[in-house]
Structure 1
Amino acid sequence: MKKLLLLSLLGLVFITACGKKQAIDPNTPADIEQAKKEGKYVTYGQPDDWANWKGVFEKFNSIFGNTRVDTDMSSAEEITKFKAEANNPQADSAEIGMVWGKIAVTEGVTLPYKNANWDKIPDWAKDKDGNFTGLYVGVPVILVNKDLVKNIPTSWEDLKKPEYKNSIVIADPRSSGSGVNMVLAVAYALGGDVKNLDPAFKYFAELQKLGNIKNIKGSTANIQKGEVPITIQYDFLALGNKRKLANEVNLEIVFPKEGSIYAPGALILNKYAPHPNLAKAFADFVTSDEGQLEFAKGGAMPVRAVAGNLIIPEEIKKQMLPDSFYKKVGKPQSWSEITPDVIADRWEKEVVSQ
């Protein structure tokens, strides 16, 4: 499962040789014939079991005749690797949480390529210069093991109840992008936004003080073992767990009545991608109708569907949570103003210390 590294990684000194490989021209489209000759595509942080990257690459590879190798890692690690490998680039692309977009640009590792479907990507889900592009959104929701929880919570507020003591498993925003977006979701739901996270930190500090937070990972394995009564996960992960464990665990997915957010997963291309035409072709593909629908097959809402310029066929929609499930979902507009290190610091001081 894709996670962010502790933010201290960004304090590392990046050591590179004096000369750098020449950057790719971002203003020319992919040469399709050359792309088919490049043969191998290398990715960081795009594992098969996350948002249906497996299906995405099966389709892409069948078109271009290439192979693909992925190394799963955090957004911070991906940015670090791109920069450290500038003279001997290994990977062509990576997926990062949108909160890391500004950092990737600042570190100078991205190719500012505006893909073939650029105008169809909403402004809130892309960098204006093309350095990163949102592909799909995850919505933080509540996943409940009904075999362990008698009364199903329906809201963020419900999670404060004494009956949920040592029952709520959450991702740590000091080390997890899912955790960062969980904080943002609660902030929006309780009247805050990217510039006012106080409602979220007050909320989680109270949960911690009440003893309702259980210190364990909300992994599929732990859910399967019955060690996770309640957890906060992206909707597509919750749906995936419910399907995988259908014959073993009685799970229910709850959309908190106060609301949640759309949290985009974004694509970055390596400024020095070793397979530049495949990289550009890939950016074009994952934003096309065909590529976007592969994410939908994994239960993740494509960014273009959120924007209203992609229709998801009914046979695919049946594999997703129904539209009626998403009652109040916010769209953070200012991702560049969200600083993961500040969130990590506040979590340490205001939540962990309780």
Structure 2
Amino acid sequence: MSHITSRRLLLGAAAATVAALTLAGCSSAGTPSAEGTDGAASDAATATSLADFGTFADLEEAAKAEGQLNVIALPRDWANYGEILDLFAERYPEITINEQSPDVSSAEEIQAAATNEGLDTAPDVFDLGLTVALQNTDWFAPYQVETWDDIPDALKESTGLFVGDYGGYMSVGYDSARFDAPESLDDLLGEAYKGAVAINGDPTQAGAAFAAVGLATVQSDGTLDDFQPGIDWFSELNAAGNMLKLDVTSATVASGETPVVFDWDYLNAAHQADTPTWETVVFPGVGYAGYYNQAINRDAPNPAAARLWQEFLYSDEVQNLWLKGGARPVRMEAMIEAGTIDQELADALPTAPEETVVPTEEQSADAGTLLGEKWAAAVQ
């Protein structure tokens, strides 16, 4: 378990885990398999950087010629994705964005790619939790965006198979009109929280739920080398009758169906827009941090549009839109130094924990295996 004592940026925490995201040995697995119907499409499918297109204008022209972009698992209320999608549509009206299955998990994104392989309905791009990204590098095409050098090495696979984009801290959100603020993990085991505590998904498939178990692990004096203490804590929560087995959405929070939620701080904070009494707490002690990752489907039916989308996401403008959504953009450090960060939004971010952990590749893989073996029985 790597401890970082920076309060300013999540970036500092993640930078301690270079080994977690350096998968040079996997680079051959990411060779694109998509074959275009003409030379231009074929070239786009094998492009590994903007240089392969010539200029940014050439990439835009190729993407406009395709006319479509298939995205998946992008809820509009997740880290400001709605505004980001609308900006892309406004900037490129020639490209129709097909928003597929916004509420599915990271694992289900890969399943959709497998189901639709070779079809024009396959996802062009993915947005994935780290564990699922590590498990599925064979599905990705390497691509390095124009701002590649601004992205810390610890947050990108060395060839660009997948790249961190935005992140935050695992937190607990709650309706302050119904509950007092929990001050520790064990407060949630009390009678006051009967049938009220939910996590965002299944930890064997969803990154946010996986991180909830990670937080429970380190808050229970465990380490990321062994998620068993976190599994045990949720088993105890379930035995107390406090665990609510209901998928969390903005609608379930607004309706009061999920009044206490483990989720990323930027997602919990967003619920205040619909539920003014909603508050978010990051527990004192060890915090759990994580980034979501962008990747291009090796079988993308619109390979130029997929690469244009990546360039768009890592631009100054969209990195600041992550910030507007309460998430910490991956280029934050470089943008602060360059003076391109929205300082007002940066200053509004919650204070980071004094100590933060981020799982390494090995820890993530081991935890995923353990959860697959133990989770269902622990909370049945």
Question: What TM-score comes out, normalization by structure 1 length?
Answer: 0.81
Aligned to 1:148, the other structure's residue is in SS state coil
Q: CA deviation at 1:153?
A: 1.0
Q: Which residue of 2 aligns with 1:230?
A: 260
Structure 1 distance, partners of 2:198, 2:75, is 23
Structure 2 distance, partners of 1:347, 1:339, is 11
What value does the CA root-mean-square deviation take over the aligned residues? 2.6
Q: Which residue of 1 aligns with 2:237?
A: 207
Within the alignment, does 1:220 sit opposite 2:250 as a pair?
yes
Aligned to 1:310, the other structure's residue is in SS state helix
Structure 1 distance, partners of 2:324, 2:110, is 28
Matches within 5 A, 1:202-281: 202-246=232-276, 250-281=277-308
Structure 1 distance, partners of 2:134, 2:218, is 21
Task: Note the residue ranges of structure 2 that are not aligned, 5 or more in a row.
Answer: 1-32, 37-41
Out of 116, 119, 125, the residue aligned to residue 155 of structure 2 is 125
Structure with the bigger percentage of helix: 2
Structure 2 distance, partners of 1:226, 1:28, is 46
Within the alignment, does 1:59 sit opposite 2:87 as a pair?
yes
Q: Which residue of 2 aligns with 1:81?
A: 112
Structure 2 distance, partners of 1:118, 1:161, is 47
Q: CA deviation at 1:341?
A: 4.7
Relative distance call for 1:173 and 1:63 in structure 2 (3 A) is same
Question: What TM-score comes out, normalization by structure 2 length?
Answer: 0.76
Aligned to 2:46, the other structure's residue is in SS state coil
Out of 76, 97, 111, the residue aligned to residue 48 of structure 1 is 76
Relative distance call for 1:168 and 1:288 in structure 2 (3 A) is same
Q: Which residue of 2 aligns with 1:27?
A: 48
Relative distance call for 1:282 and 1:195 in structure 2 (3 A) is same
Contact 2:128 2:294 in 1 (8 A): yes
Task: Note the residue ranges of structure 1 that are not aligned, 5 or more in a row.
Answer: 1-18
Contact 2:34 2:301 in 1 (8 A): no
Q: CA deviation at 1:221?
A: 2.7
Contact 2:248 2:258 in 1 (8 A): yes
Q: CA deviation at 1:141?
A: 0.7
Deviations 1:5-38 (A, max 9, x none): xxxxxxxxxxxxxx97367214342432323333
Q: CA deviation at 1:309?
A: 1.9
Relative distance call for 1:77 and 1:20 in structure 2 (3 A) is same
Relative distance call for 1:192 and 1:116 in structure 2 (3 A) is farther
In the TM superposition, structure 1's runs of 4+ consecutive aligned residues that sit over 4 Å from their partners are none
Relative distance call for 1:214 and 1:88 in structure 2 (3 A) is closer
Structure 1 distance, partners of 2:221, 2:151, is 27
Structure 1 distance, partners of 2:334, 2:217, is 28
Relative distance call for 1:278 and 1:217 in structure 2 (3 A) is closer
Relative distance call for 1:225 and 1:256 in structure 2 (3 A) is same
